[in-house]
């Protein structure tokens, strides 16, 4: 009899828990007169955001040494600097975006690229500000602002306050830290969400 009461109590508690869970899920749904249901837009947006949120993987140091060129490794991992006017993207005028060579996180757009005369690819602003981290750099006997990628923590370059309008900033980047994805390849490379920027 005692076992029966405990079992009955357990079933009752389980039923109440399931009912509460069902009620919570139903709160997210909108009931229509015809009996159909629609999830609220904020929940849909949340689900879509979670589904679209890219995952940036960072290879191990051993993998990086295999995947990157010696220059790319030196710049991204050891805060190196490539030579001015002797790098891949300083004079690139093609439409597209620039992503972290290590992780693939989107960093800059050709829309914000401009001729700075420095010999390095320069931008007025990041494509995705959340993917950029600024750090104080006291090397070379001066105080500068280093720019790193958030997810891979790659050294990208430096940002200066001598850029053109509208930001007045010059993001002076190393080509070796970047991978350029042309507009025509954005969709197949998984960056289709940025195609609308070029319309």
Distance CA 16, CA 177 (A): 56
Q: Is the peptide bond before 167 cis (omega within 30 degrees of 0)?
A: no
- Distance CA(183)–CA(190), nearest Å, equals 12
Query: 97 has which bridge partners?
Result: 109, 181
Q: Which residues are the active-site residues?
A: 172
What are residue 178's phi and psi, to 5 degrees? -115, 155
Residues 171-190: b if buried by 16+ CB within 10 A, e if exposed: bbbbbbbbbbbebeebeeee
Element (H, E) at 17: helix 2-27
């Amino acid at each position: 009899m005692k076992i029966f009461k405990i079992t009955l109590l357990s079933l009752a508690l389980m039923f109440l828990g399931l009912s509460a869970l069902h009620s919570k899920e139903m709160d997210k749904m909108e009931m229509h007169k015809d009996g159909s249901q629609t999830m609220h837009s904020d929940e849909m947006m949340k689900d879509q955001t979670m589904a679209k949120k890219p995952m940036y993987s960072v290879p191990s140091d051993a993998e990086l040494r295999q995947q990157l060129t010696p220059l790319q490794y030196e710049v991204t991992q050891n805060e190196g600097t490539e030579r001015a006017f002797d790098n891949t993207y300083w004079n690139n005028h093609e439409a597209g975006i620039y992503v972290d060579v290590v992780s693939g996180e989107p960093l800059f757009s050709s829309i914000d690229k401009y001729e700075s005369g420095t010999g390095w690819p320069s931008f007025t602003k990041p494509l995705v500000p959340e993917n950029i981290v600024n750090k104080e750099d006291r090397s070379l006997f001066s105080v500068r602002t280093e720019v790193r990628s958030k997810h891979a923590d790659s050294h990208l370059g430096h940002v200066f306050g001598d850029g053109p309008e509208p930001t007045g900033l010059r993001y002076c980047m190393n080509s070796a830290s970047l991978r350029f994805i042309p507009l025509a390849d954005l969709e197949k490379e998984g960056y289709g969400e940025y195609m609308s920027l070029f319309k």
